[in-house]
Structure 1
């Protein structure tokens, strides 16, 4: 039998500060509110964990005795007004709680020392972080999300193999704050080995805090450019050296412009795919309506004639008064995959 949570909701009582109390400093005011909020989060955490355990029991029973499609579980979720994604997030939280306790890392009663977000982030952290946080919780210390993040940053900054030795050693010696080095590690993890080495080379030459900040920003732009470029269909079947192109943009101090260009190109491609789907569907609907109509429906025929300006191979669309009354004329040419010539685009005033 799973032990019941030890927190008693009936014992909740807070001495909240008076917002009109002038002799109370802002620091003390915020501290008292944070303490009350933390206790509420502890109750919320216990509630979420137990809901996750309940949902897990319902799901597992359905697996063993249901129809194999989980319809009983889904019906139960509908009756409880819980979405499927929310249900599985609660089950994952319950699994995380049980794993920490079952593995002997965390005592059951020590769960009460966590805020909800702190517990979730601890369950997702590296094993070393889990042990350190659990030991502190077992000693009766309150665990906040800020503490988990700080400890995670320190561990990441001091141990990551993505960093050059000069940066890692300075971090271990507290000469570089982990809160600045950890974001650099996260951004470096998104880059290719060549891009990582380029940034590390700069850091070796200047292992100071300003360089760390600059390279974090640079790595962030490089990561955005990489993500956008990999999603572009225009680059498929092209022998492009994206690493070299990014290096050249970096040398020109134009990484931001390159990332923005990739983003706009991705938007255009996505819009065209949606447009093509809508264009084909409108064409089919227009043809079906035309077959159904006839001389007895002259107004409908007139409407369908007008819609033909959007369903043919040449489309004309007004861009409106904000664009000076310009009209956009597009010619659509559906080609085989071997033909890569783009269709012509014209803007007529």
Structure 2
């Protein structure tokens, strides 16, 4: 790659027309086989993707340079970076996202995890995904890129998923063996690991024991659901005031629900209780608001506004201590709510 360092060379380069055009297939030409058509547009897309990635990395480096120049100034208000962004209609979040991309690229290059020529084998999203991955995954992806393989985000995620499956301490050896010989697909492993990571160690162990006993797809799918419900149960139980009024061992209750196969019901019950308490709090705030607005409107109305008064008479009861509401459905019935403020 030719480096352009001189200002005049940069200016001249900008004045040169860019040879960047494709002969795309005619979308109305039915004689072009579908496979050939898709392959030709895919090649053009990949070129754009690679060109965009190189551009974004260099924009990040430029932004970083402007920002660091601003930081280095001892005197002054240090606003040149902000002004520079404003003039180019770039938000700070966009700027720092590009700077992060440039930092990731420079780190991968500096640590010899990636050769400069291999960057062109990445799509932009794949490169960003690689930069976010753990070092071991970065090495494996970079090795694939250096062999000339085209790297998309799907490949990065696949390698990352395989690494997760083979290295997670949350998976028993019986499961890892089946993953290694492709008996258990990775797509069932990663969601389970993510849900297990949200749980306390005691609940992780019980689910791991189940995996040891039945290391099959159906068990993994069910355990993923169970782990997700456990996490919801624990999160919701911490938000339910009714559970704070008694010394309840939530962990033990959860284990008992799991033992008698009522975990899903218990999790849903806690979740509904949490939502109900939040709804009651919101109802109270709305009730107070209606009461205050009705009082203000009553003061500002009189005999000269009969229709407005009738409007107020219809809505004012909703701000009273007793609220009657007709529930429409298969059978007509009413609900009566009484709201009392207790200090």
Alpha carbons 1:17, 1:32 under 8 Å: kept: no
Aligned to 2:192: 184
Aligned to 1:345: none
Query: Does 2:267 match 1:282?
Result: no
Distance verdict in 2 for CA 1:181–1:300, change over 3 Å: closer
User: Bigger radius of gyration, 1 or 2?
Assistant: 2
Distance verdict in 2 for CA 1:100–1:14, change over 3 Å: farther
Displacement after TM superposition at 1:20 (Å): 6.2
Displacement after TM superposition at 1:143 (Å): 0.9
Aligned to 1:129: 137
Distance verdict in 2 for CA 1:314–1:238, change over 3 Å: same
Aligned to 1:244: 252
Displacement after TM superposition at 1:71 (Å): 11
Query: Does 2:134 match 1:113?
Result: no
Distance verdict in 2 for CA 1:81–1:24, change over 3 Å: same
TM-score, normalised by the number of residues in structure 2? 0.76
Aligned to 2:156: 148
Displacement after TM superposition at 1:60 (Å): 5.6
- In the TM superposition, what whole-angstrom CA distance separates every residue of 1:14-50 from its partner, at most 9, and x where no partner exists? 5448576477365x65555544433333334344444
**Aligned mates of 1:293, 1:58 — CA distance in 2:** 62
Displacement after TM superposition at 1:125 (Å): 0.9
Aligned to 2:214: 206
Aligned to 1:98: 106
**Aligned mates of 2:147, 2:300 — CA distance in 1:** 78
Alpha carbons 2:24, 2:41 under 8 Å: kept: no
Query: Does 2:233 match 1:225?
Result: yes
Aligned to 2:14: none
Alpha carbons 2:141, 2:156 under 8 Å: kept: yes
Query: Does 2:339 match 1:332?
Result: yes
For the aligned residue pairs, the C-alpha RMSD in angstroms reads 3.7
- In the TM superposition, what whole-angstrom CA distance separates every residue of 1:207-251 from its partner, at most 9, and x where no partner exists? 344433332333233333333333434433543333333334334
TM-score, normalised by the number of residues in structure 1? 0.75
Aligned to 2:175: 167
Superposition pairs of residues 241-280 of structure 1, within 5 angstroms: 241-280=249-288
- In the TM superposition, what whole-angstrom CA distance separates every residue of 1:58-93 from its partner, at most 9, and x where no partner exists? 66666667758x7983x7767655555555444433
Distance verdict in 2 for CA 1:249–1:292, change over 3 Å: same
Displacement after TM superposition at 1:325 (Å): 4.4
Displacement after TM superposition at 1:202 (Å): 1.2
Q: Unpaired segments of 5 or more residues in structure 2?
A: 5-16
Aligned to 1:342: none
Q: Unpaired segments of 5 or more residues in structure 1?
A: 337-349
Distance verdict in 2 for CA 1:213–1:304, change over 3 Å: closer
Distance verdict in 2 for CA 1:55–1:234, change over 3 Å: farther
